[in-house]
Each structure stands twice: as C-alpha cells, then as structure tokens.
A = this chain, B = another copy of it.
Amino acid sequence: MDRIEPALQWNDSPAACLHGLGVSACADCRVRQISVCAALDPHELTEIDSLSHPTAFPAKSTLFTQEDPASAVFNITEGMVRLYKLLPDGRRQIVGFALAGDFLGLALLDRYGVSADAITDTKVCRFSRSAFTAFLDKKPHLLRRLHEFASHELSLAQDQMVLLGRRTADERIAAFLMSLKERFARIGHTSITLPLPMSRQDIADFLGLTIETVSRTFSKLAKSGVIVVVPDGVRLTNLAQIKALATR
C-alpha cells in the first residue's frame, strides 16, 4: 500500500530541486530529494520544507506497523526499508523493499496497510500526514503526480503477482536481481557489485521461497558463472543470461 518508486528524476542538489522537477528539499536535513511534481516554485518549496522533519532509524527498528493510524508520510533519504505483511501464524510476505527516494505512506489512508522496518541504518524525511494532505489539497498538480506514483506502484505489485504466481525459483531470483539493479542504478548507485543488504530470509519472504531455496539458487547461478556471490552482495557477471531468465 505504501511504497512509491523513486521518480524518474533524481536531483542531487537543492538547486536542481528548486529548478526542475523536485519537490521537498527538506533543506535543513541536507537531503537529496525526489521529484514528485512537474514544478514547484521556490515559495512552495519553502513551504513544504517547513513541513518536513529529518529522522533516523537504526537498522532493525520499526518505522510503523500495519494497522497503525497513518500519522506520517516518509521519504527515505538513506538506507533500506522492508515492507511486509504477516499472517497470524507468523508466515511473512515482504511486499517491497524501499530505497532512498522512495515514499512510504503515500496511500494517505487512515491506517498503514503494511509494516515497515529498517534493514540498514536509515534516514528519512518525515511529514505529518495532516500537514502533507493539507498541502496537497492546495496543489492539485502535486496530487496528480502522486496518483501517477501510486499507479506505478500498483503496476509493480502486479508484476510481483506474476512472479509469485507463475515463475520458477530461478526466474524469481533473476527477476529480483535485475529489478534491484535497475532501482539502484536509478538512484545513482552503479557500482560493479549489486549490494544485498537484506538477509536471505528477507529475499525468501519477498520471492515466496525458503531461505534454503534462495541459497541453493544463488549457488547454482554462481556455479554456472552467471553471478559471483560476495559479502553483502552479488556481482552480475552474465547480465544477458540473467535478463533472459528474468523475462522468460
């Protein structure tokens, strides 16, 4: 319900935010921010800045819990967050990983639909929901942009349904690696090794597999030379092969 993809634009400097597509500058937390609307003028930026509060969440801490009153909207500026749902017996489905630039809580419903906790040490800009929606009410163009985000989010969710309903373990892992790689690339992280800060259990719960199957699949791909497993990440040595698996 809550994760929003990073925008197509990523602006590293406040100036770029001011100038282009950026939205909340969150200036006092010297934070890179993500574009949300086609244009906000300097006055509006100042206004939205005043709504935001920088907050840090250490690894493993909870941002919010499913069914909690949705009191805030978050924009991640650093780190990684997992979003998940639990069944009463403890089975867990991770519905997404949120990276720097992603929004949480944009559904703007009364309660959070998922739980969220920090995988790594994480920094966010926090907006109170009431202030955020009040601002939104005055800026229809922003709302429109936000709706596009939500639509994109839904599209991703539907892709994930295909993955969970109809793909093999190999395909799931490959698709996971590809999409994570693309998301990191979009936020400017293009190192040769793809970081995997989440645990094997997290990956398993995201892909509808077990920890053992994830591990075995990594080993298998490594053995066939498609990836190299390194501490806290993988190197994708045969992208074509992975892509083939991912889109088959």
Contact surface of A with B, Cβ cutoff 8 Å: 1, 85, 87-89, 91-93, 95, 106-109, 113-114, 136-137, 140, 143-144, 146-148, 150-155, 157-162, 164-167, 205, 207-208, 247-248
Contacts and interface: CB of A to CB of B under 8 A. Distances in A.
A12 B160 CA distance: 36
Interface pairs A-B: 3 shortest CB-CB:
A165-B208, A107-B151, A164-B164
Given A1-B158, A87-B166, A109-B152, 10 more contacts: A91-B167, A92-B166, A108-B151, A140-B143, A143-B147, A157-B157, A164-B165, A164-B208, A165-B207, A166-B208
Copies in the complex: 2
A247 B113 CA distance: 16
A157 B162 contact: no
| Listed residue (A107, A113, A147) with the most chain B CB atoms within 10 angstroms of its CB | A147
Contacts of A91: 166-167
Nearest to A143: B143
Contacts of A208: 164-166
Main secondary structure of the interface of A (DSSP, over half): helix
A207 B89 CA distance: 21
Nearest to A140: B140
Given A87-B248, A107-B151, A165-B208, A95 B158 contact: yes
Nearest to A114: B158
Given A108-B151, A109-B148, A248 B89 contact: yes
Contacts of A248: 87-89
Contacts of A146: 147
Contacts of A140: 137, 140, 143
Nearest to A136: B144
A109 B113 CA distance: 24
13 contacts: A1-B154, A107-B154, A109-B155, A113-B158, A137-B144, A143-B147, A147-B147, A150-B154, A153-B154, A154-B157, A165-B205, A165-B207, A166-B208
